[in-house]
Protein backbone atom coordinates (compact mmCIF):
# COMPACT_ATOMS: atom_id res chain seq x y z
CA UNK A 1 0.00 0.00 0.00
CA UNK A 2 1.26 3.46 -0.90
CA UNK A 3 0.18 6.74 0.65
CA UNK A 4 0.47 10.20 -0.94
CA UNK A 5 0.90 13.50 0.86
CA UNK A 6 0.26 17.02 -0.38
CA UNK A 7 1.32 18.76 2.83
CA UNK A 8 4.90 18.73 4.14
CA UNK A 9 3.73 19.25 7.73
CA UNK A 10 1.80 15.97 7.54
CA UNK A 11 5.01 14.19 6.52
CA UNK A 12 6.92 15.79 9.40
CA UNK A 13 4.25 14.50 11.81
CA UNK A 14 3.88 10.95 10.47
CA UNK A 15 7.41 10.23 9.18
CA UNK A 16 9.78 12.59 11.05
CA UNK A 17 13.04 10.63 10.70
CA UNK A 18 12.80 10.05 6.96
CA UNK A 19 11.57 13.60 6.30
CA UNK A 20 14.41 15.08 8.35
CA UNK A 21 16.94 12.92 6.50
CA UNK A 22 15.64 14.11 3.12
CA UNK A 23 15.58 17.78 4.11
CA UNK A 24 19.16 17.53 5.44
CA UNK A 25 20.26 15.83 2.22
CA UNK A 26 18.73 18.63 0.15
CA UNK A 27 20.34 21.33 2.30
CA UNK A 28 23.81 19.77 1.97
CA UNK A 29 23.70 18.47 -1.60
CA UNK A 30 21.59 20.95 -3.57
CA UNK A 31 23.42 24.29 -3.86
CA UNK A 32 20.63 25.81 -5.93
CA UNK A 33 18.68 26.07 -2.68
CA UNK A 34 21.00 28.87 -1.58
CA UNK A 35 19.22 31.08 -4.14
CA UNK A 36 15.78 30.49 -2.65
CA UNK A 37 13.56 27.94 -0.98
CA UNK A 38 12.56 24.59 -2.37
CA UNK A 39 8.78 24.35 -2.81
CA UNK A 40 7.24 21.08 -1.64
CA UNK A 41 5.06 19.45 -4.31
CA UNK A 42 4.25 15.97 -3.00
CA UNK A 43 5.41 13.09 -0.87
CA UNK A 44 4.73 9.41 -1.13
CA UNK A 45 5.32 6.50 1.24
CA UNK A 46 6.19 3.26 -0.53
CA UNK A 47 5.93 0.21 1.69
CA UNK A 48 8.44 -2.55 0.99
CA UNK A 49 7.97 -6.30 1.08
CA UNK A 50 10.83 -6.63 3.59
CA UNK A 51 8.87 -4.55 6.14
CA UNK A 52 10.79 -1.33 5.54
CA UNK A 53 9.58 1.67 3.61
CA UNK A 54 10.73 4.49 1.34
CA UNK A 55 9.70 8.13 1.43
CA UNK A 56 9.81 9.93 -1.89
CA UNK A 57 9.56 13.74 -1.86
CA UNK A 58 9.33 16.07 -4.85
CA UNK A 59 10.25 19.77 -4.67
CA UNK A 60 10.61 22.54 -7.24
CA UNK A 61 12.65 25.73 -7.30
CA UNK A 62 13.48 28.46 -9.82
CA UNK A 63 17.13 28.20 -10.93
CA UNK A 64 18.33 31.70 -11.86
CA UNK A 65 21.39 30.36 -13.71
CA UNK A 66 19.36 28.04 -15.93
CA UNK A 67 16.43 30.50 -15.98
CA UNK A 68 13.96 27.67 -15.49
CA UNK A 69 12.16 25.69 -12.83
CA UNK A 70 13.94 22.60 -11.53
CA UNK A 71 12.13 19.57 -10.15
CA UNK A 72 13.98 17.53 -7.52
CA UNK A 73 12.98 14.03 -6.45
CA UNK A 74 14.69 12.68 -3.32
CA UNK A 75 14.16 9.29 -1.68
CA UNK A 76 14.81 8.07 1.85
CA UNK A 77 15.10 4.30 2.08
CA UNK A 78 14.30 3.01 5.57
CA UNK A 79 14.86 -0.72 6.07
CA UNK A 80 13.52 -2.15 9.33
CA UNK A 81 16.10 -1.70 12.08
CA UNK A 82 18.74 -0.19 9.79
CA UNK A 83 20.11 3.26 9.05
CA UNK A 84 18.26 5.57 6.65
CA UNK A 85 19.84 5.98 3.21
CA UNK A 86 18.99 9.09 1.17
CA UNK A 87 19.59 9.66 -2.53
CA UNK A 88 18.58 12.09 -5.23
CA UNK A 89 16.62 10.14 -7.84
CA UNK A 90 15.96 12.91 -10.32
CA UNK A 91 16.88 16.54 -10.89
CA UNK A 92 15.44 18.04 -14.07
CA UNK A 93 14.39 21.29 -15.69
CA UNK A 94 10.67 21.56 -16.30
Domain residue spans of the chain: 2-93
pLDDT of res. 81 = 80
Q: Which residues does 69 contact at the CB level (< 8 Å), separation at least 6?
A: 60, 61, 62, 63, 93, 94
pTM (2 d.p.): 0.87
pLDDT of residue 13: 93
Fold category of 2-93 in CATH: Nuclear Transport Factor 2; Chain: A, (3.10.450)
pLDDT, position 35: 67
DSSP structural state of residue 94 = -
Give all strands of the β-sheet with 2-5 in edge-to-edge order: 2-5, 39-47, 53-63, 68-78, 85-93
Note the pLDDT of residue 33.
61
* DSSP per-residue codes, 56-72: EEEEEEEETTTTEEEEE
Q: What average pLDDT values come out for the chain (94 residues) when binned by 10 residues? A: 90 93 91 76 88 92 87 93 91 90
What per-residue confidence (pLDDT) applies to 65?
A: 82
Q: What is the pLDDT of residue 90?
A: 93
Amino acid sequence: MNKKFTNLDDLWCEWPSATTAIMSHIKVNEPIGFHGNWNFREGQILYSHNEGYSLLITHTIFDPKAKSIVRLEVQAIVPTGEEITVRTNKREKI
